[in-house]
Structure 1
Amino acid sequence: MTTRDRLLAALVVLLWGANFLAIHVGLQHFPPLFLAGLRFAIIAVPTMLLVPRPQVPLRWLIGYGLGFGTVQFVFLFVAMDVGMPTGLASLVLQSSAPFTVLLGAVLLRERLSPRQQVGIGLAVVGMAAIAVSRAQSAALLPVLLTLLGGLGWAFGNLSSRLALRAAPDANPLHLTLWMSVVPPLPLFALSLATEGPAADLAALRAAVTPAGLPGLLALFYLVVLATVVGSGIWTLLLRRNPAGVVAPYSLLVPVVGIGLSALVLGERPGAVELVAAAVIVGGVLLGTPARESLTRWNRPGWSTRSGGTSTLSGSSGPSAAATASRSRTASAA
């Protein structure tokens, strides 16, 4: 991996880590489900007009959009809206990695190596420690909602992986962009049903006032910088380098998220949460397949494309194919 590529990877980590700050600001100006719907709608319109649809089975494209784009962001945005700390959200969302490995083993009959089993176990212990710590302060619900968001991301991972297995020549960036066509309708429907049209219209009216400028800037960041720029650079890196070399960089996203949240928002995670964070990141890293286990993916037309999609999911998170999805993460967001 060249120095330039390492710097580009660091830039993506910074963009994705700051993504959670943008969500925090956006939620101060828009209802959570409405904000999620706007994010994907803004991407979906030019995608349908300008980007050719990848020829993957429609069921897996829809599954990708529902899992990654809809379920993940319903629970993540609501969790942050009801009190999930911004930095902690960037960490707990990493649960998508062990969830993806477990779902792959259960639903796709993929075999887990002893190393992966130990890594998953460590990640689960870390998540449980955070849940217990939060339960003592009566803030367990946001953690559980964020975990459900990670589970939705994991289902999206499996769907995108199956889509690329069925059509290995499909462009992974096109697949990720077309995934964005799926979430707007269910997200806007949920917003109308639970948040109400009055709240959505009030948010839109306020957005065009000077006071609403931070909300618009946050939305711009989510759409352009975190999704288009971040995902585009990550795809380029995965085309140039083995997925197993690039994917571990995504483990730095929660480090950046927690650091920026402490610096900008004054969030101070407790000692238990910091230790648990180290255990989770270590477990996810340990659960990443060893280089020799990547050989079956490293063949022309599969490894870089599948890796690209897996980590693109992380953009907004990162992740669908075997290697990168097991190491990462938002995309989130």
Structure 2
Amino acid sequence: MTPRHALAAIAVAVIWGANFVVIDAGLHDMPPLTFVALRFVAVLVPAIFFVKKPDARWRDILLIGLFLSLGQFGLLYLSLDLGMPPGLASLVVQVQVIFTVVIAALALHERPTRRQQLGVLIGLVGLTVVALGRTAETPLLALMLCLAGALSWATGNVVTRRVGTSSGLSMTVWSGLIVPVPLFALSLLVDGPEAVANGLRHIDWVTIGSTLYTAYLCSLFGYGVWNSLLVRYPTAVVVPFTLLVPVSGIATAWVFRGERPTLGTVIGGLLLLLGVLVTAVSRRRRPRPERDGLVSNPGEVFTR
């Protein structure tokens, strides 16, 4: 990988890692589901007028959006709103790589290699250590919602793998169509019209900045750059950069939130990341780039 592309991969990982603190900052006066709806309005407009619709059936586009966008981010934002520390969240969601391998084995009958099986086992042990080592300030419900978000993400990865769409960026944009209206309606039902109206009425620059950061830097810029790197280089060269995401997330939370990881989080986190690394780069032969950079192995997924 050239130095310029390596710097681009590092930049995307840092942006994605800081994303969790940025989301948490924007949640202070905004109902979480309304906040997700706003994020995807920003993803859709104006991009949907310039990005061609992906070569896939509408049913598949909406199904991918249901898991990769609505489910993943709806559950993540709820988790952060309920008290999930953003640094810890950036670590826990990496378990989606392991979940993807397991779901692909069950749904697509893609038998994982022995090395992937070992990676799954190591990762699950690490996740267990993280869960047991969490502090009292981390509610169990928030942790479970974060894991549910990772599970939704993994399910979306497998659906995307089955569909075999030809454009990752266009799928990111067009699959987002399913997010704003259902989540806004659900927020009205759960949070109440008054809370939603109050959040929108008193929206400030922190919330606006958080929305723009997550929509344009994380979703559009980050995904576009990452997908282009997967086109140019073997996945085993690109995927390890995702291990910088929780490093960036934990460091950002430490600097801006004073969130210091516990010993259990450190030990469990290292085991989890080791499991992710073993699982993600387990191919024995040089992987060939798929169309427009989509991965060809359920373990070869990334954070966005």
Normalised by the shorter chain, which TM-score bucket?
over 0.9
Kindly provide the amino acid, as one letter, of the partner of residue 267 in structure 1. Answer: E
Kindly tell me the number of residue pairs found equivalent between the two proteins.
304
Kindly provide the amino acid, as one letter, of the partner of residue 272 in structure 1. Answer: G
Once the two structures are TM-superposed, the CA of residue 177 in structure 1 deviates from its matched residue by: 1.4
Aligned residues: CA RMSD: 1.8
Match of 2:252 in 1: 260
Kindly provide the amino acid, as one letter, of the partner of residue 52 in structure 1. Answer: K
Match of 1:48 in 2: 48
Unaligned residue ranges in structure 1 (runs of 5+) = 308-319
CA contact (8 A) 1:36 1:74 kept: yes
Once the two structures are TM-superposed, the CA of residue 290 in structure 1 deviates from its matched residue by: 3.0
Q: How does 1:54-69 map to 2 (within 5 A)?
A: 54-69=54-69
Match of 2:168 in 1: 172
Higher mean displacement: 152-161 or 44-53: 44-53
Q: Secondary structure at 1:235's aligned position in 2?
A: helix
Q: Secondary structure at 1:324's aligned position in 2?
A: coil
CA contact (8 A) 2:17 2:249 kept: yes
Change (3 A) 1:265 1:219: same
> Hey, what's the Cα distance between the residues in 2 that align with 1:267 and 1:43?
29
TM normalised by structure 2 equals 0.94
Match of 1:100 in 2: 100
Once the two structures are TM-superposed, the CA of residue 138 in structure 1 deviates from its matched residue by: 7.0
Q: How does 1:277-316 map to 2 (within 5 A)?
A: 277-295=269-287, 298=288, 302=290, 304-307=292-295
Deviation track 1:126-184 (CA, whole Å, cap 9, x = no partner) reads 111122223866722111110000000011111111221xx5xx222111211111211
CA contact (8 A) 1:306 1:321 kept: no
Match of 1:232 in 2: 224
Match of 2:234 in 1: 242
Higher mean displacement: 191-200 or 2-11: 191-200
Match of 1:223 in 2: 215
Once the two structures are TM-superposed, the CA of residue 203 in structure 1 deviates from its matched residue by: 1.4
Change (3 A) 1:226 1:154: same
Change (3 A) 1:321 1:172: farther
> Hey, what's the Cα distance between the residues in 1 that align with 2:6 and 2:300?
16
2:298 to 299, 307, 322: 322
Q: Secondary structure at 2:76's aligned position in 1?
A: helix
Q: Secondary structure at 1:322's aligned position in 2?
A: coil
Match of 2:190 in 1: 194
Higher RCO (CA < 8 A, seq sep 6+): 2
TM normalised by structure 1 equals 0.86
Match of 2:147 in 1: 147
> Hey, what's the Cα distance between the residues in 1 that align with 2:76 and 2:297?
22
> Hey, what's the Cα distance between the residues in 2 that align with 1:145 and 1:179?
22
CA contact (8 A) 1:86 1:257 kept: yes
Kindly provide the amino acid, as one letter, of the partner of residue 116 in structure 1. Answer: Q
> Hey, what's the Cα distance between the residues in 1 that align with 2:5 and 2:293?
17
CA contact (8 A) 1:242 1:304 kept: no
How much identity, in percent, do the aligned residues show?
37
> Hey, what's the Cα distance between the residues in 2 that align with 1:138 and 1:86?
10
Q: Secondary structure at 1:83's aligned position in 2?
A: coil
